[in-house]
Amino acid sequence: MPDRPNILFILPDQLRPDYLSCYGAQFIRTPHIDSLAAEGTLYGRCYSGSPVCVPARVSLMTGMNAIKTGVLDNSHFLPPDYAASGLRTWPEMLFAAGYHTAAIGKMHFYPWEAPLGFQERIIAEDKIWIRIQDDYARRLAEHGYAKTVGNDKPEYHANHGAFISDIPWDLSVDRFVGQETCRYLREYDREEPFALMVGFPGPHNPYDPTPEFARLFDPEDMPAPIPEGQDPLRLGGGGGRRSWYAIENAAFTERHMRVMRAYYAALVAQIDHEVGDILSTLRERGMLENTVVIFSSDHGDYLGDHGLTGKNSFFEPATRVPLLVRAPGAEGGRFEGLVELTDVTATILGHAQVPLPGYYDSAPLPAAGLEAAGEGREYVFGALASGWMVVDGEWKLCKYANGQTMLFHLPSDPQEQHNLYADPAAAEAFGRLDEVLTRELVRSVRAAAHERRVMAGSLSNSDDFGRVGWCRPYPGHVEK
């Protein structure tokens, strides 16, 4: 076996931690994902600083926050010439360090087939990208099926994007990703270690489980949605209340939310099944004890909490994500300090023995088998096109583009019902977090603008420009 460990990074899309039994969910059992927690480290307070698909994923690829990447919503991406500024993705760095890099499933790159440092890709992209002919589309076509969003079904509209799929389980997208991952691991025979990223498209909506898993969950057993607080969020364009995927969310009842939650839970159960197959394959190949396994998600899902769907703001159901790390030689356990999703990136580089770039915001995770790791973060900073936030574990401050400011005391108000922004008793906490937020914003904006700095040589063709001998009084006479 190689001296450096293999890296396996599993990233379902839009997965909340409270839908995993290792995080305390009572209505679902996720034994295979739970085994990673039992044999590794569970991070109880991991935040995605940019809880939208593409911003979160680009930050993971680059180790930088969304202001520095310039990717603040799903319409943004890295420029094609990003390497010219000295930026490299973690797969590019691991490839240069002697790893074989591969990606299976959804990556959400633009263009969708871009490598970004992965030498090998098996692509099963976003569920709503039904017209691209990726590897999953070709697999379906071989069996007489095609991708579908599901909006041709009455159930889809009746349940706000939740419906039972007609595609057989063996051809479902998460099954495809799981089994292609197992095939990759069974056939892997290279001498160099692998760095494999696995992106499950689920449980992101549309909530489309197969019947075998849908029947396992009763909507009445699902946890009730968190109500809107005293100061509901009203982002421009709807911000979670707008029509989405051909659904009008104006008449959004608790019944809708419970059906969505049951089908979402079914998708989580499907992914857990695939994680079990992947771990079994690693054991069968004798690879598990020399593989760092990381399991997380790009962001959560409101599922009706706060009257919202999707993500794109900073309430806990959107910005909290699961994070599990099973690393050879690490003691494991439960870590309750603050960590941020992009800390995964520095952790991957640390295990690969690749030095961290100086521009990284990412830091190695504590309790993940790395000696250089610290004790967690003092605070987590996050940003999207819709606003920005900072959380220190006790208080969370959010400022939105529509002018709304929200301050929550999480220990006494975990459901974020009481906005204390205008409460004199919270003035000290507001001032402290506002100072941190301003400092992080200024630091990030300055760093983002660094490559645009105009140096002396750019201002004049004169070799002496900027030197003392070149200076002359101004205004003054200039000889012709």
Give the residue from 160, 166, 155, 157 showing the smallest Cα distance to 261. Answer: 160
- Confidence band (pLDDT; 50, 70, 90) for 473? very low
CA separation, residue 27 to residues 19, 23, 53, 219, 396 (Å)? 8, 12, 27, 10, 29
Query: Residues 56, 341: contact at Cβ < 8 Å?
Result: yes
Query: Residues 33, 22: contact at Cβ < 8 Å?
Result: yes
Q: 3-state secondary structure string, 299-317?
A: CCCCCCHHHCCCCCCCCHH
Query: Residues 282, 6: contact at Cβ < 8 Å?
Result: no
Q: Could you state, in order of their start, the residue ranges of all structural domains in the chain? A: 6-382, 384-452
- Could you please report the per-residue DSSP string of 263-306? HHHHHHHHHHHHHHHHHHHHHHTT-GGGEEEEEE-S----TTGG
289-299 per-position pLDDT tens digit: 999 999 999 99
Q: How far apart are CA 366 and CA 343, in angstroms?
A: 10
Higher pLDDT, 473 or 1: 473
Residue 245 is classified by DSSP as S
Residue with tokens 């159901």: 317
The pTM assigned to this predicted structure is: 0.92
pLDDT, mean of residues 297-310: 94
Q: Do domains 6-382 and 384-452 have the same CATH topology?
A: no
Q: How far apart are CA 400 and CA 388, in angstroms?
A: 6
- Residue 187 in this model has a pLDDT that exceeds 60: yes
pLDDT at 153: 86
Tokens of 243: 């029509």
20-31 per-position pLDDT tens digit: 999 999 999 999
Torsion of CA 417, 423, 428, 430, to 10 degrees: 50
pLDDT at 287: 97
pLDDT at 243: 54
pLDDT at 189: 96
Class level of CATH domain 384-452: alpha beta
Question: Within a 13 Å sphere around the CA of 30, how many CA atoms are in the beta-carbon half?
Answer: 30
Higher pLDDT, 248 or 263: 263
| CATH T-level topology, domain 6-382 | Alkaline Phosphatase, subunit A (3.40.720)
pLDDT at 218: 97
The mean pLDDT value of the chain amounts to 91
What's the first-to-final CA gap in the chain, in angstroms?
75
234-244 per-position pLDDT tens digit: 775 445 555 55
Q: How far apart are CA 208 and CA 162, in angstroms?
A: 6
Q: How far apart are CA 399 and CA 233, in angstroms?
A: 11
- Residue 474 in this model has a pLDDT that exceeds 50: no
pLDDT, mean of residues 73-99: 93
In the chain, % of residues over pLDDT 90: 76
